[in-house]
Amino acid sequence: MKVSQSSYAYTPGLKIKRVTIVRKERKLPIPGEVLVKKGDKVSFDTVVARTYVPGDPYILKVARELGIEPEDLPFYMLKKKGDRVKKGEVVARYRALFGMINRECISPTDGVIEDVSSTTGRIIVRGDPKPVEIKAYVSGKIVEVMPKEGVVVETRGAFVQGIFGVGGETNGEIKVLVDSPSDVLEADMIDEDCRGKILIGGSLVTKDALNKAIEFGARGIVVGGIKDTDLMEVVGYEIGVAITGHEEIGLTLIITEGFGKMAMSRKAFEIFKEFEGYRAAMNGATQIRAGVIRPEVVIPHEKKISESELPELEEGIRPGTLVRIIREPYFGQIGRVVSLPIELQVIETESKVRVAEVELEGGKRVVVPRANLEIIEE
């Protein structure tokens, strides 16, 4: 039996690029109207598509309110199925004893009578449709229109993926608050100048700094790590399943490395420094399932950079590949793969696994399960 040199079961690295082409699909939840056309230039907040989602339904227990049998309901309805009604309008009435008994049922909303049931004695009033708008999210060009569904926006720019985030789409100017990727982002670094901006920290953001950034109206924070307990306090609850993006904490937070104090990858930090002052889009939405959705920062720019684009699908780990170790005992350390032994090897836990020999920055050589390596794109 033989084993191939490259490993299929690798963890794809997070994308960190100074320049790349980013395409974003912007789709409506249900069919509607696309407001831009192919070739149009759009900005971050340009509305590109709009639709109306059905309004909230209200179930009215009309028969019970009028004190009648369900099967008699149609006789007492003043409106029929499909009719428009206004909020406060009488939709059914029961009168008896020459008007001495007068019971009415009124509509709680503007809308349409959707259903009248003589089985249950209830009616459904559907509220007026609500508009839903989709914005471009990033500045760029419309390269594709999907009729009634949405568009694809294309932009050229820097692209940094994080490992975990909270909060949804936003945009703002990049502002770097620390000198090095290993510095902690503290509360005293935040002031009025942070309003509307995306703040870049180093290895950790403290709870106080996070709260102060929210207070001063920062749009987002990108940082290496955060303590789980601090995140829990700011979000207000303990996140159970890693499906995020809908939190409303006042800003969007992205951590690039993991939980605890962890220096931001140098490459990401340098990109943020290079593009300080540029307007960027960010989204904290994370979904850790097959395929995964990772949080991201997109910084559209037109700088001439000769960096060649890497193919979309990586080739796997090979000798020479730059990697980050993503599990104890070398968590967060960066090194270069020296060899990929073909045979399974016994590690401290006594498990027999596929390993890689990695030379850490500083020269020390360690053996690490391949599953605990993440490729760093160069």
Partner 1 sequence: MPKTPLDQMKYILATDVGSTTTKARFFKKTKEGWRYVISGEAPTTVEKPYEDVTLGVRNAVREVEELTGHKLLAPGGKGIIMPSRSNEGVDLYVTTSSAGGGLQMMVAGLIRSMTAESAERAALGAGAIVMDVIAIDDGREIYQKIQRIRHLRPDMVLLAGGTDGGNIKDVVEMAEILKAAQPKPRFGVSYKLPVVYAGNKDARRHIKELLDGIFALTIVDNIRPTLEEENTEPARRSIHELFMEHVMAHAPGYDKLMKWTDVPIMPTPAGEGMMMQLIAKVFNCNVLGVGLGGATTNIYSIYDGKFVRSVSANLGMSYSICNVMKEAGIENIMRWLPFEKSEDDIRNRLRNKMIRPTTIPQTLEELMIEHAVAREAIRLGFEHHKTLARPLRGAKRRKGALWEGAEISDVFALEEIYGTYIKMMNVKIIAGTGGLLSHAPRRVQSMLVLTDGFRPEGVTRMFQDSVFMMPHLGVLSTVHPKAAWEIFDRDCLVRLGTLIAPKGTGKPGERVLDLRIEMPDGTILKESINFGEMKRIELPEGVEAEALLEPRGHFDLGEGPGKKVETKVYGGVVGIIIDARGRPLNLPQDDKERRRKLLEWFEALDAYPREFLDKIREEWT
Nearer to partner 1, 43 or 229 (CB): 229
> At closest approach, how far in Å is the CB of 1 from partner 1?
6
Nearer to partner 1, 180 or 229 (CB): 229
Write the CA distances from 302 to 159, 279, 306, integer angstroms: 13, 12, 12
Write the CA distances from 282 to 209, 260, 294, 296, 307, integer angstroms: 19, 22, 11, 6, 23
The site for partner 1 (CB under 8 A) is made up of 1-4, 8-9, 11, 29-31, 54, 56-59, 70, 114-115, 117, 119-120, 122, 124, 126, 163-164, 227-229, 238-242, 258-260, 286, 288-293, 312-313, 326-329, 331, 347-351, 353, 368-369, 371-372, 374
> At closest approach, how far in Å is the CB of 184 from partner 1?
15
Nearer to partner 1, 227 or 267 (CB): 227
- Yes or no: say if 158 and 299 are a contact pair by the CB < 8 Å rule: yes
> At closest approach, how far in Å is the CB of 211 from partner 1?
19
> At closest approach, how far in Å is the CB of 332 from partner 1?
10
Nearer to partner 1, 181 or 295 (CB): 295
Nearer to partner 1, 37 or 289 (CB): 289
Q: What is the CA radius of gyration of the chain?
A: 28
Nearer to partner 1, 41 or 352 (CB): 352
The amino acid present at 239, given as its one-letter code, is: I
**Strands 334-339 and 355-360, how do they pair?**
antiparallel
Look at residues 113, 129, 128 and name the one whose alpha carbon lies nearest to residue 62. 113
Q: Which residue has the tokens 């390993």?
A: 355
Nearer to partner 1, 57 or 319 (CB): 57
> At closest approach, how far in Å is the CB of 49 from partner 1?
14
Nearer to partner 1, 190 or 337 (CB): 337
Beta-carbon-side half-sphere exposure of residue 251 (alpha carbons within 13 Å): 25
- Yes or no: say if 160 and 268 are a contact pair by the CB < 8 Å rule: yes
Look at residues 98, 130, 92 and name the one whose alpha carbon lies nearest to residue 113. 92
Number of residues in the chain:
378
DSSP-derived letter for residue 215 is H
Which helix (H) or strand (E) segment holds residue 229: the answer is helix 228-235
Nearer to partner 1, 41 or 64 (CB): 64
> At closest approach, how far in Å is the CB of 63 from partner 1?
10
> Among positive and negative, which fits the CA dihedral 342, 346, 351, 355?
negative
> At closest approach, how far in Å is the CB of 138 from partner 1?
17
> At closest approach, how far in Å is the CB of 98 from partner 1?
32
**Residue 254, φ and ψ in degrees, nearest 5:** -125, 130
Nearer to partner 1, 57 or 193 (CB): 57
The amino acid present at 137, given as its one-letter code, is: Y
> At closest approach, how far in Å is the CB of 276 from partner 1?
27
> At closest approach, how far in Å is the CB of 302 from partner 1?
25
Give the integer Cα–Cα distance in Å for 349 and 347. Answer: 6
* Separation of CA 133 from chain center: 17
**Residue 74, φ and ψ in degrees, nearest 5:** -55, -30
- Yes or no: say if 87 and 109 are a contact pair by the CB < 8 Å rule: yes
